[in-house]
Chain A
Amino acid sequence: MRSTVPLLVKLLATAGFGILYIPVMMMMIYSFNRGKLVSVWAGFSTKWYKELWYDDVLLTALYKSLLIGFSSATISTIFGLLIAIAFLRFSNFRGRLFLSLFASAPLVMPEAVTGLSMLLLFIAMEASFGWPSGRAVDTIMIAHATFGMCCAAVVIQTRLRDIDKSLEEAAKDLGGRQPFVFLSIILPLILPSIIAAWLLSFTLSFDDLVIASFVSGPGSSTLPIVIFSKIRLGVSPEINAIATLMILTISALVMIGSFLVLRRDGKK
């Protein structure tokens, strides 16, 4: 029997997706607009993309965003992996419940709160032992790593939970010792989720505006910060162009990530 989707549901779904994606499509289309006005089509051109290439402020911001993204994603993934292992392999240590609450709280906490508390922490640290001196790339990196770590832990944990505990015991029974058992059995099986966790942390860092505004200092503006400040002077087609590039990159990363998370070994 075929189930038929009620008309109302179809309409609502179309409207929902429309509101979500039509503006994005418009923006992408207008990034190829020849004219300077955002709302009047004046013919096709890629000149805004060329202009991007010569915009030093944007390029510097892009470089910083990438640097912060790469390093914070790497730190997030390593710590997230350790948290996930601690939760699932040592199931009965003291304070487990608290740690699991603390590990997922940042996911639901307002970003402004996270950003502000990070800022206060950095100021207090600077006052007491002089590091980090001022806010710069490193403070954004730490803030992003903290946030990304929680997401990474959740992603990796989901995968690790599916792995039969007897696999590890079988490896030990056959003469394997730690850390070899982990490297030869567990790591290959959770590798897709590790990559997915890295991509997710990178994406979160790369398009974060709120936390970064709190913990960035002069000269350490990331790409979202620069874009946001430019918009206040009026939307230029150049912004459309950089936004289009960001959307494409991030959707690609998210798609690879979800593909890796959803994929299972072999066919059941």
Chain B
Amino acid sequence: MTPFIRIQNISKKFGKLLAVDDVSFNLERGELFSLLGPSGCGKTTLLRMLAGFEKPSEGYIEIDGQNMANVDPADRPVNIMFQSYALFPHMSVSNNIAYGLKRASLPSDEIKARVEELLRLVHLSGMGARKPSTLSGGQRQRVALARALARRPKLLLLDEPLAALDKKLRSETQFELVNIQEQLGTTFIVVTHDQEEAMTLSTRIGVMDNGKLVQTATPNEIYEKPETRFVADFVGDISFLEATVIERTGKYWLMEAATPIYAIGSSTLTSGMKVSLAIRPEKITLTSQSTGHLNEFPVEIEDWAFYGAGTQYKVIGPDGIKLKVYQSHNQPSHANPRHLETGFVHFSPDATIILEG
């Protein structure tokens, strides 16, 4: 069976600049795929090629078995929600939503019913007569979403849909977006450079760097099993330790990184290899006394920051190795070590990530 959406070796050159570099991935029907990456890595360019506003320099795009190469943006089963929303300022909310329906020359009572239905979907019933300029940022965002959904696209592209919203509205809207997506079963590609947003929203995430798609996986895999140092660093907080492989001891590999460390890793490692060990802050436990755990060593506490639900520490271990440690305040009686100046950290070998090269 061919995949619903197939993106095959797509590249885009602007003069000498390679904005999108040989990107390939497939999407199943109903997926919510996030494109994540730093500013300027080519996310918008990739979306614009899918919508048909830019012609790929190489490669091809297939949607539901149909090659998109020579299909005009107006004829693609794809709609896009722009970062700026691009609502038509001289039209009412209803007319904005109806614009695409009128182009499909539907009968007017059908258009009216569909507009009402969409307004209900995005919780804007009764606001159809308002002009976009009289709406709040969140309301505008929902009008833009309704307008993009109106023609029942097979693929909906959203370019940083939540970028203009404040933090609280943002998290509410994230869930709403997921709800709507599940309700309609439309395939979504959401561009963002906010990794938390990508984690919350998506069934799968594609991480882009410098025009290349470096890893495509579920949010959990991206977080727990990043394949490159770039992905590990870009998604969530992480500390790196430069280590040398010593030997295999049972289930784990023994490494030397200023202090002996046991880590889990594939059997392709060999003794003497240089690797990066990555470890997430919340996987590390900070204690005031030694507890005798595996992978324990003494540290000095350099700095800490209180986050309400937890505290983030910056600690320095033997030989100056730096680690970030996050302790959640899950026990009220937890002896709060934040006034400590020295302590011990330990972490499970299973929580480590070995990045080769």
User: Which chain A residues have a beta carbon within 8 Å of chain B's beta carbons?
Assistant: 164, 166-167, 169-177, 184-185, 188-189, 265-268
Q: How far is the CA of A143 from the CA of B80 in the complex (A)?
A: 47
11 interchain pairs, CB-CB under 8 A: A164-B84, A169-B51, A169-B82, A169-B86, A173-B74, A174-B74, A174-B79, A174-B99, A177-B74, A266-B89, A266-B133
Q: Cβ of B72: which chain A residues have Cβ within 8 Å of it?
A: 172
Q: Cβ of A172: which chain B residues have Cβ within 8 Å of it?
A: 53, 72-74
Q: Cβ of A166: which chain B residues have Cβ within 8 Å of it?
A: 82-84, 86
Complex contact B90–A174 (CB within 8 A):
no
B interface residues, how many (CB within 8 angstroms): 28
Q: Which 10 A-B pairs have the closest CB atoms?
A: A266-B133, A174-B100, A175-B103, A170-B86, A166-B86, A166-B82, A265-B89, A188-B90, A175-B74, A172-B73
Q: How far is the CA of A188 from the CA of B91 in the complex (A)?
A: 10
Among B71-129, those with CB < 8 Å from A are 72-75, 78-80, 82-84, 86, 88-90, 99-100, 103-104
Complex contact A169–B99 (CB within 8 A):
no
Q: How far is the CA of A172 from the CA of B86 in the complex (A)?
A: 12
Q: Cβ of A175: which chain B residues have Cβ within 8 Å of it?
A: 74-75, 100, 103-104, 151
B249 within 8 A of A: no
Q: Mark B146-169, 1 if CB is under 8 A from A, else 0.
A: 010011000000000000000000
Q: How far is the CA of A129 from the CA of B221 in the complex (A)?
A: 80
B81 and chain A: residue at smallest CB distance: A170
Q: Cβ of B88: which chain A residues have Cβ within 8 Å of it?
A: 167, 170-171, 185
Q: How far is the CA of A268 from the CA of B135 in the complex (A)?
A: 10
Among B28-52, those with CB < 8 Å from A are 51-52
Q: How far is the CA of A265 from the CA of B84 in the complex (A)?
A: 17
Q: How far is the CA of A115 from the CA of B104 in the complex (A)?
A: 53
Q: How far is the CA of A94 from the CA of B90 in the complex (A)?
A: 34
Contacts A167-B86, A170-B147 given; 6 further ones with Cβ under 8 A? A169-B53, A169-B80, A173-B73, A185-B88, A266-B133, A267-B133
Q: How far is the CA of A24 from the CA of B103 in the complex (A)?
A: 56
Complex contact B131–A176 (CB within 8 A):
no
From A172, A175, A266, name the one whose CB has the most chain B CB atoms within 10 angstroms: A175
Complex contact B82–A170 (CB within 8 A):
yes
Q: Cβ of A171: which chain B residues have Cβ within 8 Å of it?
A: 88, 99
